[in-house]
Amino acid sequence: MYKVKVFVTLKESVLDPQGSAVKSSLHRMAYHEVSDVRIGKYLELTIDGPAESLDHRIQEMCHKLLSNPVIEDYRYEVEEVVAL
Amino acid sequence: MYKVKVFVTLKESVLDPQGSAVKSSLHRMAYHEVSDVRIGKYLELTIDGPAESLDHRIQEMCHKLLSNPVIEDYRYEVEEVVAL
């Protein structure tokens, strides 16, 4: 069994209005040291499948459903979980 | 300057309807090996501030604005960025 952590972020060139809103809020709350905020998605998938095709299948899922490749980048980390 | 990566996740005991919807979609797309999906937020903050108060200030921001401590957990990683 694998636990896969997927991070989906907006590409650098894409505006992030949600991040700007959070930054403004932080400034209003006197956290003026925050100079930038970017917001993305974080997904944890639990996968029961063979190790061989794992990377390929994860990349497919990210491309087809979990991210929008036009405006978003993704990266992921795979962790093997030993069943107790 | 610091880059702070914040991960906000729903507590284990809280239902994640968005995660369930993504899981169902993955199953419909024949990714039956995915047994669970949990969805959270991923934030990247850029902070120009003194190192001493950094941890304390980040925890405050997470508590007050970036997460809802009633239903969410958070964790973060700090990375020092050397200006070029």
Strand order in the sheet with B72-80: A72-80, A2-10, A34-47, B34-47, B2-10, B72-80
User: What is the percent of chain A where pLDDT is above 70?
Assistant: 98
The ipTM is 0.87
What is A2-80's CATH number, 3.30.1280.10, 1.10.10.10, 3.20.20.70, 3.30.70.360?
3.30.1280.10
- Contact at CB, B35 and A44, closer than 8 angstroms: no
What pLDDT does residue B78 have?
96
For chain B, list residues whose CB is within 8 angstroms of any CB belonging to chain A: 1, 7-9, 19, 22, 25-26, 29, 31, 33-49, 57, 60-61, 64-66
Nearest residue on chain B to A3, alpha-carbon basis: B36
Is the pLDDT at A56 greater than 90? The verdict is: yes
Residue ranges of domains in chain A: 2-80
- Residue pair B67/B8 in contact (Cβ under 8 Å)? The answer is yes
What pLDDT does residue B84 have?
67
